[in-house]
Structure 1
Amino acid sequence: MFESKIRGKTLKRIMATCCATSFCMYGYDAGVLGGVQTTEPFHRAMGYPTGTYVIPMIASSYTLAAAVCSLMVTMVGMPLGRRNCILLGNLLVIIGASLQASSWSVAQIIVARIICGFGIGFISCSVPTYQAEMSTEIKERGPQVAVTCVFLVAGAALAYWVDFGFTSMTNQASWRLPIGFQIIFAIIGSVGMFILPDTPRWYYAKGYINDPAVQSTKQDIISSIKLEEDNNSDFNILDLIWDRSYLRAGRRIRISFMILALQQMMGINLSVYYSTVIFAQVGLSPFLTKLLAAIMNTLFAAGTIPLVYTIEKVGRRNVMLYSAIVLTICMSIFVAMISLPNPSASTQWIAVAAIFVYNIVFGYGWIGVCWLYGPEIAPLKLRHAGAAAGAFGEWLFSFITVFAGGIALENVGWKIWLWMALSCAAAVPFVWFLCPETSGKTLEEIDFIFTKIGSQNRDPTSGNLTSHDLTEKVTVTVVEKV
């Protein structure tokens, strides 16, 4: 077992820095190609590719690789541990980014982005789980993951500003340096994570730990493990379709997948990857398209900041529910404005305002909460599978929206955004019926919410258990500890 001499606040600061840097790199990699893929030096290096599918395939190849890697994590996540998965992810990004920045053909850059995609797949599966399990207080868990997701979106914004500055050049450095810059993030994340331990819950699940520093949470963790063992928690693949088990593990993993799949269906990655294309189709000048793309992604990042201070007060469920309503309205306005046959300056700027507000609200409501919710609700021994299922949903539907969406933007134009508007509307009943509130509860208490008893006795309007069920849970916990 790896033993770290780092303790207390120092450990928390290093952990926060490593997780934030790794997710910033993830966001940067998602946005950096969007600002350079239309430039002449990039097309020259790629041999002036023809066909509407080539650039979308370059952009989306890494999302497909990340989706495949997410499935792999369901098998290797527990043996490797959260820490080693993050380290492996950073190493793969260093290799992939180096190959991307030195590419001279479509084939090379696709292979390079696939390697990067595997790295980002490991990181996106493991970072939220690592942070959730390293939290020592209930109220720390939400803000910690929310802060990391601020850096995720800030990475995409940074990528567009770097692109905006470098694409004024006409040489090969104009796109190679922005792409290669992500290596710095990977190195910082690797060095910090190398000196950190894995999570106490992972050590307990593997039977490795007996450290007095984590004894305050030991009994709850052991009780959770015992609950899983006593109720035959071996995962059955059929539970993903119809889950009748006591722990509802299949249902929880299904929700983890669906919440991040739906996040992508709502159009955010299409907005990030093709920001410049969107504003060009609105009818704005090339200079304005690049400037507004950078501003929009900056506002997207700014929207994530208030979540850090409100996620525990407002609650996960309310944040997602009410923001989905606002997103539906914004996307409906955007579609209405860009669908007009003879757009005027006023309709163009109303469309710009609507997509700006959409990005701000999406940053607040459907980034940090979604990445936190999946790892929170999964059972301890299947938490890696829950996080991987969520990341698989994210990356699979990111590939679909980025690849198919990129082609659709060229062929059907504004009509592709009808898909996104309907997905935003579908998010409202999804949260209302399937997502109970998890704020203010330990990871072990969340187990009880999803058991047969807990799920059958929730208040549908709030997602909380009745007072009788909470009393029963407290009684069970006290008896177990005695």
Structure 2
Amino acid sequence: MIEGYQAGVLGGVQSTIPFLNAIGNPTGTETIPMIASSYTLAAAFMACVVMLIGMPLGRRNCIIIGNALIVIGGAIQAASFSVPQIIVARVLAGFGIAFITCNVPMFMSEMSIDARGRGPEVAINCSSLIFGVALSYWVTFGFTRMTNQVSWRIPVAIQSILALLSGATMVFLPDTPRWYYARDRIDEGDKTLSRIYGVYRTGINNSNDIEEIRVLKASIMENFEVEEESSNRLTLLSLIWDNTPLRVGRRVRISFIILAIQQSMGINILIYYMTQIFEDVGLSNFMASLLAAISLTVQWFGSTLCIVTIERIGRRRIMLISSGIGTCCMLIFVVLNMIKNKTTATQWTAVAVMFPYLFVYGWGWVGCPWLYGPEIAPLRYRHIGSAAGILGVFLFTFITVFAGGIGLETVGARIWIWPLVFNVVAFAFVYFMCPDPTNKTLEEVDALFTKDEAVLDRLNHVDRGEDEKPGMQQVENAALSLREEKISMRPSNL
């Protein structure tokens, strides 16, 4: 919710008189876009840093650090009285949001023990992101009816409250079992797995006594050993031309590209400049602000649809369907805005077509790409894959927000050709480059990408200390058995 709120809150106040008075009424077409996009550029830089320090710090510590930076950055933003001050504050908040977004989807994916539950869990997370965007517009819509400094300072300060809540609750959570095992902290990994499965307080202190936990642990350790081999090491060359058995470079590259495409489909131009877009159609400021809030609420409704369909329909199919519909909507929007002699009907049709576009974007291109990168990255390089995705997000968010803001002033409606093209690119990229990890465990995803038969055979089996090696189907059967046993032991059933 923090990231979505940050993305939208400035768009709701940046054109108001109290805000412009507070920062000295800056002139120049690049000043407001620079303020809006400075935090995305900072986040892109910090995503590169997380590639280096993410594994030593861990998922949990990175999220706590990120929240602390946003608390500080949000407070400084709300107290700003100049352009440099608010830019510095936005940069701090950008550093914080990179720590969070690089690690939250990864944390949730690695905490998941059910292949069918991972998609809805992360989809709920991403739906909260979109809810944060809609919330920011409703908050600013209400507060900007005022004409004093409170009208923009309170909405901006709310991000610090959200970060404080997030960081404070994160203190009480462990890191992921997969991170503990990767750092050779076996006992802590066993303890966390036991807590996730709900057996830690049942008197069973050795998680290896539980079949499904032991098999999952063995699968994680086996995959990590395969990823540790020199032939599967990530190098700069493999990022360009990947010949590793596990296709490590290709998977990191996809993580970057799919989220770079996501941000190039026009969503951030719409979020940051939605009110201005509706005003350019000829609507009053009041009606433009109201429609902006409603349209982003429609996008949130689309993201909630993803929660119940991501496992039924699949990540790949949802992204293909939504980018196809999005291409049609954006084509209509471009054509209507390029007409020289616009009528009232033309203008309102252009406004109306944005609602289905935002709905299908929320359905297919919010949760699925955010989940896809951390999902396909190998354990050893998951922090790099996740950070590469976030680099793609914020680098292209900066480009679209900064260049898009200037483009709206200089080339007008022709700027919408850009997201039209990238909706087409999104369809083609997913169709040719993205296999579907739906209903597969994180360890089974390695097998989805590898082309080496010997490695594939190792990944498809979990060592039990015997000649016979059960597959992941046995893990799911063991999980079902344990859940049924726990249900039968509840007091109401005794």
**Structure whose CA Rg is larger:** 2
1:242-275 CA-to-partner distances (Å, cap 9, x unmatched) read: 1111111110000000000000111111111111
Q: 1:62 aligns with which of 15, 31, 39?
A: 39
The alpha-carbon distance between structure 1 residues 267 and 195, as it changes in their structure 2 partners (threshold 3 A), is: same
1:273-295 CA-to-partner distances (Å, cap 9, x unmatched) read: 11111111222222211111111
Which amino acid counterpart does residue 300 of structure 1 have in structure 2?
Answer: Q
Instruction: State the 1:303 CA deviation.
Output: 0.7
Instruction: State the 1:332 CA deviation.
Output: 0.3
The alpha-carbon distance between structure 1 residues 158 and 223, as it changes in their structure 2 partners (threshold 3 A), is: same
| Separation in 2, partners of 1:229, 1:118 | 30
The alpha-carbon distance between structure 1 residues 472 and 376, as it changes in their structure 2 partners (threshold 3 A), is: same
| Separation in 1, partners of 2:22, 2:111 | 45
Partner residue in 2 for 1:161: 138
Partner residue in 1 for 2:100: 123
Alignment of 1:103-114 (within 5 A): 103-114=80-91
* Secondary structure of residue in 1 paired with 2:357: helix
1:168-194 CA-to-partner distances (Å, cap 9, x unmatched) read: 111100000000011111111011100
Partner residue in 1 for 2:51: 74
| Separation in 2, partners of 1:360, 1:308 | 14
Partner residue in 2 for 1:249: 248
The alpha-carbon distance between structure 1 residues 472 and 235, as it changes in their structure 2 partners (threshold 3 A), is: closer
Instruction: State the 1:136 CA deviation.
Output: 1.2
* Secondary structure of residue in 2 paired with 1:438: coil
Partner residue in 1 for 2:224: 225
Partner residue in 2 for 1:357: 356
Q: Is the 8 A contact 1:25 1:152 kept in 2?
A: yes
Q: Is the 8 A contact 2:223 2:443 kept in 1?
A: yes
Normalising to structure 2: TM-score of the pair? Answer: 0.88
1:26-71 CA-to-partner distances (Å, cap 9, x unmatched) read: 1001000001000000010010100000000000000000000111
Partner residue in 2 for 1:318: 317
| Separation in 2, partners of 1:359, 1:310 | 17
* 2:186 aligned with 1:180: no
1:212-255 CA-to-partner distances (Å, cap 9, x unmatched) read: 62534101101101111235332201111111111111100000
The alpha-carbon distance between structure 1 residues 475 and 203, as it changes in their structure 2 partners (threshold 3 A), is: closer
- Report the identity percentage: 54
* 2:235 aligned with 1:258: no
Q: Is the 8 A contact 1:256 1:389 kept in 2?
A: yes
Residue ranges of structure 2 left out of the alignment (5+ in a row): 195-212, 471-494
Instruction: State the 1:352 CA deviation.
Output: 1.1
Partner residue in 1 for 2:440: 441
Partner residue in 1 for 2:431: 432
1:147-206 CA-to-partner distances (Å, cap 9, x unmatched) read: 001100000000000000000111100000000011111111011100000000000000
Q: Is the 8 A contact 1:233 1:247 kept in 2?
A: yes
| Separation in 2, partners of 1:477, 1:33 | 53
1:66-125 CA-to-partner distances (Å, cap 9, x unmatched) read: 000111110000000000000000000000000000000000000000000000011110
* 2:236 aligned with 1:237: yes
| Separation in 2, partners of 1:118, 1:474 | 39
* Secondary structure of residue in 1 paired with 2:116: helix
Which amino acid counterpart does residue 399 of structure 2 have in structure 1?
Answer: I
Across the two proteins, how many residue pairs are aligned to each other? Answer: 445
Q: Is the 8 A contact 2:446 2:459 kept in 1?
A: no
Alignment of 1:208-223 (within 5 A): 208-210=185-187, 211=190, 213=194, 214-223=213-222
Partner residue in 2 for 1:200: 177
| Separation in 1, partners of 2:184, 2:463 | 21
Which amino acid counterpart does residue 314 of structure 1 have in structure 2?
Answer: I
Normalising to structure 1: TM-score of the pair? Answer: 0.90
| Separation in 1, partners of 2:20, 2:214 | 58
| Separation in 2, partners of 1:216, 1:170 | 62
Which amino acid counterpart does residue 219 of structure 2 have in structure 1?
Answer: D
Partner residue in 2 for 1:300: 299
Alignment of 1:266-305 (within 5 A): 266-305=265-304
Instruction: State the 1:126 CA deviation.
Output: 0.4
Q: Is the 8 A contact 1:231 1:246 kept in 2?
A: no
Which amino acid counterpart does residue 170 of structure 2 have in structure 1?
Answer: M
* Secondary structure of residue in 1 paired with 2:25: coil
Q: 1:146 aligns with which of 123, 130, 133?
A: 123
Residue ranges of structure 1 left out of the alignment (5+ in a row): 1-23, 455-468
Which amino acid counterpart does residue 287 of structure 1 have in structure 2?
Answer: F
Partner residue in 2 for 1:37: 14
1:380-420 CA-to-partner distances (Å, cap 9, x unmatched) read: 01000000000000000000000010010111111000011
Which amino acid counterpart does residue 171 of structure 1 have in structure 2?
Answer: N
| Separation in 2, partners of 1:434, 1:281 | 38
Instruction: State the 1:476 CA deviation.
Output: 7.5
Instruction: State the 1:474 CA deviation.
Output: 3.9
Q: Is the 8 A contact 2:223 2:459 kept in 1?
A: no
The alpha-carbon distance between structure 1 residues 91 and 266, as it changes in their structure 2 partners (threshold 3 A), is: same
Alignment of 1:456-475 (within 5 A): 474=460
Which amino acid counterpart does residue 439 of structure 1 have in structure 2?
Answer: T
1:3-48 CA-to-partner distances (Å, cap 9, x unmatched) read: xxxxxxxxxxxxxxxxxxxxx0110010000010000000100101
Partner residue in 1 for 2:30: 53
Partner residue in 1 for 2:394: 395
Q: Is the 8 A contact 2:11 2:274 kept in 1?
A: yes
Instruction: State the 1:343 CA deviation.
Output: 1.2
Q: Is the 8 A contact 1:303 1:359 kept in 2?
A: yes
Partner residue in 1 for 2:491: none
Q: Is the 8 A contact 2:219 2:461 kept in 1?
A: no
Q: Is the 8 A contact 1:154 1:298 kept in 2?
A: yes
| Separation in 2, partners of 1:206, 1:97 | 33
Which amino acid counterpart does residue 199 of structure 1 have in structure 2?
Answer: T
Deviates more, 1:215-224 or 1:123-132: 215-224
Q: Is the 8 A contact 1:312 1:440 kept in 2?
A: yes
Partner residue in 2 for 1:88: 65
| Separation in 2, partners of 1:225, 1:149 | 28
Instruction: State the 1:480 CA deviation.
Output: 8.2
1:309-367 CA-to-partner distances (Å, cap 9, x unmatched) read: 11011001001011110000000001111111111121112111111111110000000
* 2:333 aligned with 1:334: yes
The alpha-carbon distance between structure 1 residues 398 and 480, as it changes in their structure 2 partners (threshold 3 A), is: farther
